[in-house]
Amino acid sequence: MRVEETKLKGCFIIHDTVFADSRGYFFESFNKQKFDSLTGTNTTFVQDNQSKSTRGVLRGLHFQKGEHAQAKLVRVLEGSVLDVAVDLRKGSPTFGQYEAVELTEDNHLQFFIPRGFAHGFIVLSDKATFFYKCDNFYNKESDGGVIYNDPTININWKIDTKDLILSEKDLNQPSLEQIKDTLYFK
């Protein structure tokens, strides 16, 4: 396992060691001791989630507020997605900036997003199965979001806007400007 910190402090791209032969492949997708040692964190995941989506489905940008904030370790089991984290930590030198990582079933990359970030992804392949671990339980009342096409963040989603498929909820999220004074992430 190799860990690469991104320009957003606390966000890491995880490069797993894959052992492949004529039978297929094997890799250790999570080892708490290695993960904590290489990232300098002490993360305990308590919930696993999985979704299946088709090309153009954009889910995000979501976060949990307050005591229900979540760190996530995300990966793709099938297909390809562009995974995005947006820094929402007040006072951070990278506040409002994003990191995008292409996660595929072939590259076996994982992306760690700590608390204090909005998260979203778009499916680039015909279909994708997306899997992630959370370090806190989901709480509906603590749900928050930022509109996917926020002009100050300016995310390149790599798919033409006419081909996007979004939920009603994601189409009606506020802008970062509208919520920035309500964010209490550190």
Q: Confidence class of residue 182 from pLDDT cuts 50, 70 and 90?
A: confident
Strand order in the sheet with 12-15: 2-5, 12-15, 109-113, 72-78, 127-134, 47-54
Summarised one tens digit per residue, pLDDT across range 5-21 is 999 999 999 999 999 99
Summarised one tens digit per residue, pLDDT across range 116-175 is 999 999 999 999 999 999 999 999 999 999 999 999 999 999 999 999 999 999 999 999
Could you tell me the residue range of the domain that residue 173 belongs to? Answer: 2-182
Which CATH number do you get for residue 78? 2.60.120.10
Residue 75 token pair:
């990966």
CA distance 70 to 117: 9
Q: In this structure, is the dihedral angle defined by the CA atoms of residues 167, 172, 178 and 181, taken in order, positive or negative? A: negative
- pTM, to two decimals: 0.95
Count of domains for the chain: 1
Q: According to the model, what pLDDT value does residue 186 have?
A: 58
Residues annotated as catalytic (active site), given as ranges: 62, 132
Q: Give every CB contact of residue 164 below 8 A, 6+ residues apart in sequence.
A: 56, 58, 122, 148, 157
Q: Confidence class of residue 74 from pLDDT cuts 50, 70 and 90?
A: very high
